[in-house]
Structure 1
Amino acid sequence: MTRKIHLALHPYGVGGPGQHGLWKDPGVATNATNASIDINYYIAQAQAAEHALFDALFIVDSQFINATYPAHYLNRLEPLTLLSAVATHTKHIGLVGTASSTYNSPFNLARRFASLDHISGGRAGWNVVTSFDTGTSRNYGLEEHLDYATRYGRALEAVRVIRGLWDSYEDDAFPADLETGVFLDPSKLHALNHVGEHFRVDGPLNLSRSPQGQPVIFQAGVSEEGRNLAAQVAEGIYAPGGSLEDARAYYADIKRRTAEAGRDPDHIKIFIHGGPVVAGTDAAAQRRAKDILAEDDDFDRNVGLLGRAFGAHDFSQYDPDAPFPDVAHLAEKGGRTGAARIIGRATEQGLTLRQVVESFNDHKVSPFVGAPGTVADTIEQWFAAGTFDGINLAFRNNDDLAAFVDGVIPLLQQRGLYRTEYEADTLRGNLGLPIPANSNTVRADTIPTTSDTAPADSDTLSDTLVDAR
C-alpha cells in the first residue's frame, strides 16, 4: 500500500467546546487551570506527537468570548506566538495555526506565517477561517459581522494575495556576492500591485521563501462556500467527520470539486476529527468514553455552546421545555451550516430547547473507541473506505494520548498504514505535497520581458497562482 495515514494533534488545553469538565482533570497538566497559557504544555504535546511521527500540531483560535464560552477559550495563547515557541523545541512536526481572513490584513498574515515558516525550517501551515463568532466584529470597530458571501469572497482574495506576497522574491534573489558587493538581484524582487474587491496591496513582502516554498494552506469548509474555497485553494482540510457514510460523501465531494477546479485531488489532504479512547479491553474503553461524556454533561454550559452557532445568541432566556425558538434569522452571520442542521432537526422531530441542548453530546462519541486492535481495525476500515487522508486527533489528557501512541500506532505501522520515520524535514514533504512554483519565476519563464514591462495585474497573478498549484 502506497497511501499512508496522516495524523495531526489538536490539543484541548483546559477544554474546548463540549469539554466542560476537562479543566478539572488532573491529567491535563500539573496545574490544570493554566494549561492553555502554559507554553511548556504545548511543547510537551508537540514533542510527544513528534516522537509518534505525527504530521502536525494544530492550534485553533477565535477572537470573541463571553462568560459562557469553554474554559480554553477564556484564557489561551495567540497561535502564531505559541507555534513560534514550539518551533524552537521540535524538528519535524508541522505547525498549523488558525488565523481569520476576515479580521486580519493579508500583508500582516503573509509576514507572520512566512516568519513561522523560516523559524521552523519549512513546517508552517495556515488554517484559513472566516470567523465563526459574530461578536468578533465589535472587537475590530465594526457594528456587524460580514455575511457569508462577503466573508468567503474576502477569504479567497486574501489567500491569493498572500500567496503572491510569499512569491515576492525568486529563489535566487540573494547572490550575496562579496566580490561584486551585490547582496540582492533587484530583478528577482517583485511587487504585487494588487487592486481587488476587498484589498489593495502593493508589496513586496520583506521576507524570502522558506525551504517548503510557501506555508501549507488548510481550511475547514462545510457550507457550499466553504467547500468551493477548499477546492480552489486548500491543501489540507479539517473535515467534520460524522458517520462513515457522511465522511465518505464529504471526501468524495471535496476531491471531485478539486478536480473540477483544475487541481490534482491528491494535492489536498482531508483530515477528519477523531477523539480516540483506547484501553486494555473494548469494555474498559467504552466505560472510559461514557465517563468522559458524564464529566462534560453540563446543561448550562451546553446552552452557551449552542448559542455560538447563532452568533453567540443567549438561549438561556427561553423556557427550556418549550419548542425550539425561531432563530433562523441569526444563522446567516454565524455558523450557517451547523445552525441550519440544528433547526432542521428540531423542526422535523418537534424538539424542545432542552432536547436540542442535550443532543449536543452526540457529536462527541468517537467511532475510534476500544482496545488497541479494535481502534486500529476501525481506522483501517475507514481509511480503506475512502473517508480520510488523515485524522486530526484530540485526546482527553496525556494518558489517553500515550495509550493511542503505544497501543494503536505500532499496529498501524505493522500493517503498512503509517510511517516508521519522517519522509522529510518540511510539512509539505511529510504530507506528500509539492513545493509550489514561484509565480514570478513561472512568469519569467513563459512571458517575454522588456525594460518597460509593468508588474502583473492582480487578476493575472491570481490566475497564475491557481494554475501553478
Structure 2
Amino acid sequence: MSPRQLHLNGFLKGAGEYHAGWRVPGSPPDAGVSFPFLAEQVRRLEAATFDSVFLPDLLGVPDDPPEVGERVAWSNDTLEPTTVLAALTTLTRHIGLVATASTSYHQPYTIARIFASLDHLSRGRAGWNVVTSLNDAEARNFGLPAHLPHDVRYRRAEEFFDVVAGLWDSFDDGAVRADQATGAFFDPAGLHWLDHHGEFFDVAGPLNIRRPPQGRPVIAQAGSSGPGRALAARIADVVFTRALPLPDAQAYYASVKDQAAGFGRDPEHLLVLPELATVVAPTRAEAEDRFAAVRELLDPRVALADVQYWAGVDLSGLPPDAPLPPLPPGNNRSAGAQAEIYAQAERGGLTIGDLVRIVADGDGAIIGTPADVADHIEEYFTGGAADGFNVSFPWLPQTLIDFTELVVPELRRRGLFRSEYTGTTLRDHLGLPRPASRHAGD
C-alpha cells in the first residue's frame, strides 16, 4: 500500500483572504470579477497538483458600518461561484472544482441540477460546499426579515441534502441508453421518482439529468457547532475547519471521525482539512518583512469589525482592554465560529484589543520559510489532526505563487504530496469511492 498522501484544496478569494490583501501592489483591483485572473490562479493550482479549488460565497453584502464596508473587497465584489466553475471546466483537466451553495436560500431541485451539470461538464470534478448561510443581510435578499434560527436552518439543511442526493439518483447508472437504432432513449425501469414530502420541501422528481459521473459530486461542509458536526459526519466527504491549536485540532478530528463511524460510515472516507494561510519566503526575515508591509495597509476598524462579526456581539463603544461581553440570548450567528472565538479569548485571557491584533497579525497565518510551513503541515498531518489543508492566500497572486513554488516542492521532497495526478475525478484525487445509487439492487 502506498504511503498516506496529503490533500490540498485551494481556498480562492480573488481579493485575498487578508482584509487588506486587495490593496497590495500587484494585486488587481478587479480581481474578484476578473475571470482571466481567477483562471490564471486555478491553472497554477492545477500545475501544482492540488486536489481541488474552492470558491466561497455570500448571498448579500454584510451589515458592516459604512466606514468598514467601503474598505472590504471580497464580500462586495465577487462573481457567482458556480458560473465561474462552469467556465473553468473548459480551461482545466484535472483539478476538482468546488463551490458554496446555501441550503437556506435555494431550492433543492435547482441545486441538484446545477451540480449534476457541473459534474458532467467537468467529467467528474465537481464538489458542493453545503452551507446554511451566515447573516441577516442574506435573509433580507430572499424575503425574510432575519436569518433562520440555527436549529431550523440545520434541520432544513439535513432535509435539503437528502432531497438533492435522491434527485441525483433519479436515473440508474446505464439507464440512459440513447439507442439511436431502436429509438429507446432510456430504460423506464431505471428511472425513479423521488416523491419527497417533508417538513420543508415537497419534491416530486425525477431530475432531468442522467446520474453524475461521480455518482454524486463531492460534498464539503464546514461544521463546527454541534449540529454542524453532526451534518458533516453524516453527509460530507470533506470537512473544512478553522485553524486551531494542535490539541483542539486533534480533538475535532477524532470527534468528527467517531461521529461518522456512528452513522455507519468508514471514517477514512471523511477527510478533515483545516484552513492554512501562509506568507512564505526563502528566509523567515524576508517573510516577516513582506507581511509587515501588508499589515500597514489594514485599517484597524476592519479588524475590529471582523472580530465583532464572528463573535456575534456589538463591540462598539467598548474599550480595547475590555473582555468580550457575555453573549446575548437568542444570538444567531455561526455558532461554531462564535464558540471558538470565545474559547480562544478565555483560554488566553484575551481582551478585545488582543483579538483585533490577532486578526491584524494574520489570524494564525504561518509566516516563515518553506520548511517552517512544511513542518506545521507535517505535524498536523502525522499527528492525527488533519488529512490535508484548505490553503488560503492572504493576497494574490504572490502568496499563491509562493506556496506552489516553494512549499509544494518541500512537501514532495518529504514524500507527503503527489507530483502528478493519477486519477481523473475529484473522488479519485481524494481516494474516495464512488457511491452506489440508493436504488442499486432494487
Normalising by structure 2, report the TM-score. Answer: 0.92
CA distance in 2 between counterparts of 1:246 and 1:49 reads 29
Match of 2:188 in 1: 186
Shift in Å, 1:360? 3.4
For residues 91-120 of structure 1, what are the alpha-carbon distances to aligned partners after superposition, in whole Å with 9 as ceiling and x for unaligned? 100010001111111111101111111111
Match of 2:278 in 1: 276
Note closer, same or farther for the CA distance 1:188–1:72 as it changes in structure 2 (3 Å cut). same
Counterpart selection for 1:230 from 229, 232, 257: 232
Q: Partner letter of residue 308 of structure 1?
A: Y
Match of 2:436 in 1: 437
The alignment status of 1:53 with 2:52, answered yes or no, reads: no
Counterpart selection for 1:391 from 389, 392, 414: 389
Paired residue secondary structure (1:245): helix
The alignment status of 1:14 with 2:15, answered yes or no, reads: yes
Counterpart selection for 1:137 from 113, 136, 139: 139
Q: Which runs of 5+ in 1 are unaligned?
A: 445-469
Contact 2:176 2:210 in 1 (8 A): no
Query: Where in structure 2 are the equivalents of 1:154-303 lying within 5 Å?
Result: 154-296=156-298, 298-303=299-304
Q: Partner letter of residue 255 of structure 2?
A: D
Match of 1:451 in 2: none
Q: Partner letter of residue 145 of structure 2?
A: E
Paired residue secondary structure (1:248): helix
CA distance in 2 between counterparts of 1:269 and 1:155 reads 20
The alignment status of 1:40 with 2:36, answered yes or no, reads: yes
Match of 1:453 in 2: none
Contact 2:136 2:145 in 1 (8 A): no
Shift in Å, 1:121? 0.9
Match of 2:379 in 1: 381
For residues 287-326 of structure 1, what are the alpha-carbon distances to aligned partners after superposition, in whole Å with 9 as ceiling and x for unaligned? 3344444433x22112322332366x6644x243584574
Note closer, same or farther for the CA distance 1:91–1:354 as it changes in structure 2 (3 Å cut). same
Match of 1:448 in 2: none
Note closer, same or farther for the CA distance 1:349–1:278 as it changes in structure 2 (3 Å cut). closer
Shift in Å, 1:62? 0.8
Note closer, same or farther for the CA distance 1:292–1:321 as it changes in structure 2 (3 Å cut). closer
CA distance in 1 between counterparts of 2:241 and 2:221 reads 9
CA distance in 1 between counterparts of 2:348 and 2:371 reads 38
The alignment status of 1:150 with 2:152, answered yes or no, reads: yes
Note closer, same or farther for the CA distance 1:99–1:262 as it changes in structure 2 (3 Å cut). same
Query: Where in structure 2 are the equivalents of 1:117-136 lying within 5 Å?
Result: 117-136=119-138
Contact 2:23 2:297 in 1 (8 A): no
Paired residue secondary structure (1:295): coil
Shift in Å, 1:338? 2.9
Contact 1:309 1:336 in 2 (8 A): no
The alignment status of 1:408 with 2:407, answered yes or no, reads: yes
Structure 1 stretch displaced more, 92-101 or 380-389:
380-389
Structure 1 stretch displaced more, 281-290 or 428-437:
281-290
For residues 140-174 of structure 1, what are the alpha-carbon distances to aligned partners after superposition, in whole Å with 9 as ceiling and x for unaligned? 11122211111111111111110000010111112
Note closer, same or farther for the CA distance 1:344–1:258 as it changes in structure 2 (3 Å cut). closer
CA distance in 2 between counterparts of 1:354 and 1:107 reads 46
Shift in Å, 1:123? 0.6
Q: Which runs of 5+ in 2 are unaligned?
A: none
- Greater share of helix residues, 1 or 2? 1
Match of 1:462 in 2: none
Shift in Å, 1:76? 0.5
Contact 1:42 1:86 in 2 (8 A): no
Q: Partner letter of residue 412 of structure 1?
A: L
Q: Partner letter of residue 337 of structure 2?
A: G
**Overall identity of the aligned pairs, in %:** 41
CA distance in 1 between counterparts of 2:115 and 2:273 reads 21
Note closer, same or farther for the CA distance 1:255–1:38 as it changes in structure 2 (3 Å cut). same
CA distance in 2 between counterparts of 1:46 and 1:8 reads 11
Shift in Å, 1:331? 6.4
CA distance in 2 between counterparts of 1:276 and 1:154 reads 36
Contact 2:274 2:388 in 1 (8 A): yes
Note closer, same or farther for the CA distance 1:127–1:422 as it changes in structure 2 (3 Å cut). same
Shift in Å, 1:363? 6.0
Task: State the Cα RMSD in Å.
Answer: 2.2
Query: Where in structure 2 are the equivalents of 1:311-390 lying within 5 Å?
Result: 315-316=315-316, 318-321=317-320, 323=322, 326=325, 328-329=327-328, 332-343=331-342, 353-361=352-360, 364-367=363-366, 369-390=367-388
Q: Partner letter of residue 378 of structure 1?
A: H
CA distance in 2 between counterparts of 1:157 and 1:302 reads 36
Q: Partner letter of residue 417 of structure 2?
A: Y
Shift in Å, 1:362? 5.7
Structure 1 stretch displaced more, 90-99 or 237-246:
237-246
Shift in Å, 1:267? 0.5
Contact 2:168 2:212 in 1 (8 A): no
Match of 1:457 in 2: none
Shift in Å, 1:138? 1.3
Shift in Å, 1:73? 0.7
CA distance in 1 between counterparts of 2:339 and 2:330 reads 7
Note closer, same or farther for the CA distance 1:432–1:344 as it changes in structure 2 (3 Å cut). closer
Paired residue secondary structure (1:440): coil
Note closer, same or farther for the CA distance 1:363–1:24 as it changes in structure 2 (3 Å cut). closer
Note closer, same or farther for the CA distance 1:6–1:201 as it changes in structure 2 (3 Å cut). same
Normalising by structure 1, report the TM-score. Answer: 0.87
Contact 1:328 1:340 in 2 (8 A): no
Structure 1 stretch displaced more, 340-349 or 381-390:
340-349
CA distance in 2 between counterparts of 1:251 and 1:340 reads 17
For residues 370-400 of structure 1, what are the alpha-carbon distances to aligned partners after superposition, in whole Å with 9 as ceiling and x for unaligned? 2223322332222111211111112222232
Contact 2:279 2:287 in 1 (8 A): yes
Query: Where in structure 2 are the equivalents of 1:449-464 lying within 5 Å?
Result: none
Q: Partner letter of residue 285 of structure 2?
A: A
CA distance in 2 between counterparts of 1:211 and 1:327 reads 49
Question: How many residue pairs were aligned?
Answer: 434
CA distance in 1 between counterparts of 2:413 and 2:268 reads 24
Shift in Å, 1:439? 1.0
CA distance in 2 between counterparts of 1:232 and 1:286 reads 41
Note closer, same or farther for the CA distance 1:343–1:330 as it changes in structure 2 (3 Å cut). farther
